[in-house]
Amino acid sequence: MKTEKVDKRQAILEAAEKLFCETGYEGTSTRQISKESGANMAMINYYFGSKEGVFIEIMNNRIAGFASQLKIINEDKISSLEKLHKVIEGYANRIFSNIAFHKMMHRELSLTQRPEMYDKIKNAMNHNMSLLDRIIIDGIEDGSFNNVDVRMVISTIMGTLTNVVIAPHKIAQGTIIDLSNPKENKLIKERAIAHLQNLVTVYLTTKK
């Protein structure tokens, strides 16, 4: 019985994520989530309380997954630059493996009518930002990095990857890029990773 409950809970999350990605938060109803997941409305309310509760749980799970990855990188016995390169690669892999989710997340969290929802997941996001801060600050403190605006470096990395997946035509160079095509997805992802790794290396380590 316990396994069945866990399976139903997971089914609700998976169905909701699929619907949120396809039709957005406003375009998705709990009734649709119920139908897609095979769970009744009472079960959705029991586990999550509301549609907002389902959305926040999905977001927190994703944020926690990246936090686990960052923790492993932070604890690795390698240089700060190597850690930052791993962060770039890991973050790019997460985004390019589920572009629809990243677009949805970016859209929903940027809407002004969602301040309460954003506030509920802000602490989890702040935890990840502090882990990223630590990597760059350690590099500054041990002298391997220049004294830079840490949050601007992080924003540059995240903003570049978001811009690439939301508006790939900006880097198309006259061709049409289809990120749903696995071959093109891989090529653009590797191009973005290489660009950002080179960018942070030059910016953080070239002595002024």
Decide which of 87 and 1 is more confident.
87
CA 200 to chain centre: 20
Q: What is the pTM of this model?
A: 0.88
The per-residue pLDDT for 6 is 60
The pLDDT of residue 189 is above 90? yes
Q: What's the Rg (C-alpha) of the chain? A: 19
Decide which of 113 and 190 is more confident.
190
The string of pLDDT tens digits covering residues 2-18 is 555 568 899 999 999 99
User: Sorting pLDDT into bands at 50, 70 and 90, what band is 188?
Assistant: very high
The pLDDT of residue 113 is above 70? no
The string of pLDDT tens digits covering residues 17-57 is 999 999 888 899 999 999 999 999 999 999 999 999 999 99
The per-residue pLDDT for 11 is 94
The string of pLDDT tens digits covering residues 121-146 is 787 888 899 999 999 999 999 999 99
Superfamily of domain 1-49: Homeodomain-like (1.10.10.60)
Domain boundaries, the chain: 1-49, 55-205
DSSP 76-117: SSS-HHHHHHHHHHHHHHHHHH-HHHHHHHHHHHH-TT-HHH
CA 179 to chain centre: 17
The per-residue pLDDT for 110 is 75
- Specify whether the CB–CB gap between 133 and 154 falls below 8 A: yes
Tokens of 83: 């850690």
Tokens 């959305």 identify what position?
A: 55
The string of pLDDT tens digits covering residues 54-109 is 999 998 999 999 999 999 999 999 999 999 999 999 999 999 999 988 888 888 77
Query: May I ask the CATH architecture of the domain 55-205?
Result: Orthogonal Bundle (1.10)
Residue from 201, 208, 166 nearest 80 by CA: 201
